[in-house]
Each structure stands twice: as C-alpha cells, then as structure tokens.
Amino acid sequence: MKFGTKAIHAGVHPDESTGAIMTPIYQTSTYVQEGVGNHKGYEYSRTSNPTRSALEKNIAALENAEFGACFGSGLAAIDCVIKMLNPGDEVISTNDLYGGSYRLFTTIYEKFGVRFHFTGMSDAESVRALVNENTKMIWVETPTNPTMSIIDIAAMASIAKDSNAILCVDNTFATPYLQNPLDLGADVVMHSVTKYLGGHSDVVMGALVTNNEKIANEMYRIQNSSGAIAGPMDSFLVLRGIKTLHLRMERHCENGEKIARFLESHPKVDEVYWPGFASHPNHEIAKKQMKGYGGMISFTLVGNKLEDAFSVVERVKIFALAESLGGVESLIGHPATMTHASIPKEEREKTGVVDSLIRLSVGIEDADDLIEDLKQALA
C-alpha cells in the first residue's frame, strides 16, 4: 500500500457496533469483563485503549514498522527509549539536538549513571571513535535544529550494527513522508507527534515505532509501567491530522523551496540553511535519504545584529512568533533567545546559533503571501 492510502486507512476500521467511519473516542478508563479474565482484549486504558491502538498501528504503518506506541509527549517517548538502558551504558548522540532531549539526557539520566557523548555526526568517523564496549545506543536527529545539518542514517546504522548498539532516529523534522529511518537500518524511530503528524498545533504527543520484537516488548512494558500514555481524545485528533499528512507535506516542501530561494536572493540575508540547496554541505545525503526537503528553514542577517533579528520577527504579520513547528500555519522564531536560550552563547555559536539566526516553520498558506510578509519585515 502506498503512503497516502496508508495515512487514511492503516489501523482504522469502521466501528463494528454502529458502522461509524471515524474511529470513536473511547473516553474510558476501564472495560467490563464477562467473567474473570474473559474480556475483549482491553482491560485498563493505561495498558491499551482502542483509539490509541488505532493511532499506534497507523503511525507504525507510515514508518514501515510492525510495532508502534504513543506517549503523552515527544519527550515521554524519548524517556521510554532511554529507560531501556542500564547504569553504566553509554549513548552517542547528535550534538546539535533538540534542547529538550539534551536536557532529559544530561539533567535526568546522567544522574542514573547513563553516559552521553555529543558529537557532530556529519563526520561518521567521529562517531566510530567514541564507540567502546559500553556503547548501547546511538541517538540521531536529522535534519538538525536549527541549522538543518543532515546525518547519514545508513552510515550510523552500520556503526550501530558493528558495535551491537541500537540506532534511534528522531524523525520529527523529516516526517515519515520524507524519510523512513527503519528502511535505512535504524532500530527505533521517534516522533514528536506534536509537530507535523498532528499538524494542527492542537496536540502534544510522542510516538515510537520499531520492527524489533524484543525492543517492542520493552517499549510496551515501559509504556505500561511508567504510564506516560497518549489520551483517547488526542489520539483521535492525530488520526484525523494524519489523514492529510501527505498533502500537507507536499505543500510544506513546495512553499519551503520558494521561501528558501527568495531568502537566498535577498540582499539583507546572509546564510540560508535549507538542505535542498545544492550548496548545502550535506545536500547529497539529503538527496539520498529524503524524498523532499521540508518546510524548515533558518537564515541569518547581514551584519549579524540581535536587534535586526528582533525587528524581523516582530514585524511579520502572517508568520506567528512562537515556539514549535510543523503546523499548517507559518511560525517564526529566534533560536538564540527562544529554543536555545539555555545554551551558553559560546556553545550555541559553535553550532551556528548566532544572534541574527531566524528559524521559520513554513506552513501551507499561499507562498506569495508568505514571501510578501517576509519582504515587508526585512525592508
């Protein structure tokens, strides 16, 4: 089955009792048993719930996975993966990863004896050099935020395989429409469903998918034991959102390209970070492992002044100044003072987060209006 058909049909069936075409919101905590141990497959909604199960099957299908699990947030999904490790285990991670993932790794899990090594993964050899007998996991985020570096997933999978470690990929930015890490050798894929999968900025949720039965059993055991599950109402909203994922992504890519090219030609704009440019340092890898380049773009201003960046993000009228990404509406952000504010200036500048850096999550409005908006804000 192809992607658009799966987005609409995978995991969902007309309701058996009424024929309702949309999966009902099973807003229930428990299920009546006919006799002791005699039930219809559901006992308690932390363990499983029919609305959530439908969504878990749907997201798994989109990533060509057998098993899926949904959580109360993207970070709760990452938390579940790290809980599969033991004290003394080591993780090699992308260095310019999502700030919340960095905070979870360093302020929660290091305390429990898990060690994290952060490195620029565009150079595969720097990853191989960090492997030792305690290495149990490689954590990859690609494209990275906000400078859109691309990491070669197949190369990371080969290092993980050689070192008996599991490879997890945070696929939030690319979405399953543009990139399928399991097909490239990853063991687990994580999504902040909050972003493109939900797509309408109305839900916070996370997901994990895998084809490895042993990892899946651990995933469901931790999901049930720690209890950070997604609720039925949110699961319904995301099932609805995913039905248009393929259409939305086509438009995000189309608008992203138009805006990246507009910015590239603007005299007040210095660097534009978008993996679709042939001049992007990892363009060849992006071309190899992604079906399109998405709607996430960052750029800097000539002169690199903080107040110039503030003036642009405050003058836009259609773009909304906000954190998050991946919704139908366009957002604009200033990483140095918003998403990356907790990182010391010297550290953030090493990964390209300079004072004038502006990040766009290009939505699915009419591109001409978005370009006009940026044009007046830059003027």
Ligand X SMILES: *Cc1c(COP(=O)(O)O)cnc(C)c1O
- Positions annotated as catalytic residues are 46, 98, 170, 195
Under a CB-based contact definition with an 8 Å cutoff, are residues 278 and 318 in contact? no
Give the residue at shortest CB distance from ligand X. Answer: 74
**Residue 185 contacts by C-beta under 8 Å, 6 or more apart in sequence?**
153, 154, 156, 157, 158, 160, 161, 167
141 binds ligand X (CB under 6 A): yes
147 binds ligand X (CB under 6 A): no
To ligand X, the closest distance from the beta carbon of 278 in angstroms equals 25
73 binds ligand X (CB under 6 A): yes
To ligand X, the closest distance from the beta carbon of 103 in angstroms equals 10
* Binder of ligand X out of 170, 187, 234, 355 (CB under 6 A): 170
172 binds ligand X (CB under 6 A): yes
Residues 205-234 interacting with ligand X (rule: CB under 6 A)? 206
Segment lying near ligand X (by CB under 6 A), choices 48-56, 189-197, 213-221, 251-259: 189-197
**Comparison of 51 and 142: residue with beta carbon closer to ligand X:** 142
102 binds ligand X (CB under 6 A): no
* Alpha carbons 222 and 81: distance in angstroms, whole number: 9
To ligand X, the closest distance from the beta carbon of 325 in angstroms equals 6
105 binds ligand X (CB under 6 A): no
* Binder of ligand X out of 58, 194, 210, 330 (CB under 6 A): 194
List residues near ligand X by CB under 6 A: 73-75, 98, 100-101, 141, 145, 170, 172-173, 192, 194-195, 204, 206
